Structure formats: C-alpha cells, structure tokens
Amino acid sequence: MRERFWERYPLEELTAEEWEALCDGCGQCCLLKFQDDDTGELAVLNLACELLDIHSCRCSDYPNRLARVPECTQLTPERVDEFRWLPRSCAYLRVAEGRKLAAWHPLLSGDPERVHRKGVSVRGFAVSSRGVPEEHYEDHIIAVIPVD
C-alpha cells in the first residue's frame, strides 16, 4: 500500500487493498437498518447481520457475503454519500469529507483492538439477528435518523 494513502488520494483513486484497509473494524455498517416508507426516517437496530462476528466486528464470510446476504450493504467510493447513517467516526466518511482519521484508527495506531477499547465498535452491544423474529425488531431500535 502507498504511504499514508488516505491523506494523499481521493477514495476513487485507492486500490482495492487500500480501500479495505480503511475499514476500522467497528462493525456499524453491519447493523440492520430499516427505512420508513412514509417518513423516510431510517431506524438503526442493535441487531447485526447474521454473518458479523460480534466479537471481532468483522464479517465471517466477507468474500461471499453478497451472495449469502443479498441485502448486504456494499460500501464503495461512489456510494459513500448515500449512506447517511455511517457514524461520524467512519474512516470512509472522514476521508470523503476531507477529515483526518481518528487517532485510534488501526492505520495510525497499529492496534486493531483500539477501536473496541475506545467504544466505537458494536462489540458489547450488538446482537446477532440470527434467531430474532422480525416482529421483535422494533424492540432493537437504537437510533432513528431523520430525513435530511
């Protein structure tokens, strides 16, 4: 990877390896989200995709995730702006907005566990969606994002 690529290149010019390295491992993009058809509001749940390893906050089958979970969110440089629910701490969002990476980011700290110690990841509060009936999803809403 190129040295400090996140500061030197726009997202569209990153290699696939650099793009993947930007992920801080928080797991927040793997939380279930539902949009209200009437209001446009987006509800974020503490329920994680069935493929998310709740401890590592990484996908347990990343190469095959789109085939196994068709509704999986595929974040790409072109689509970053579509995902208004990304946390302000997200490296993809920070770079897209011209902000610096957080000091705890693994690319800066060299410590992939720091994101968890800082409380940025879903470790400790996310629950696997596996086995949770849809009629109970409403009980798992942790945030509602209004329409811009």
Evaluate whether 30 touches 75 at the Cβ level (below 8 Å).
no
Q: Where are the domains of the chain?
A: 5-31+50-126
Residue type, 53: D
pLDDT confidence tier of residue 148, bands split at 50, 70 and 90: low
pTM flag (> 0.85) = yes
Mean of per-residue pLDDT scores for the chain: 93
Q: How many CB atoms lie within 10 A of CB 25?
A: 20
Residues in Cβ contact with 74 at an 8 Å cutoff, skipping those fewer than 6 apart: 66
What are the tens digits of pLDDT across the range 1-24?
999 999 999 999 999 999 999 999
Give the integer Cα–Cα distance in Å for 23 and 86: 12
| pLDDT of amino acid 147 | 74
pLDDT in tens, 95-143: 999 999 999 999 999 999 999 999 999 999 999 999 899 999 999 999 9
**Per residue in 39-49, pLDDT tens?**
889 999 999 99
Q: What share of the chain is helix, strand, coil (3-state, %, to 5)?
A: 35, 15, 50
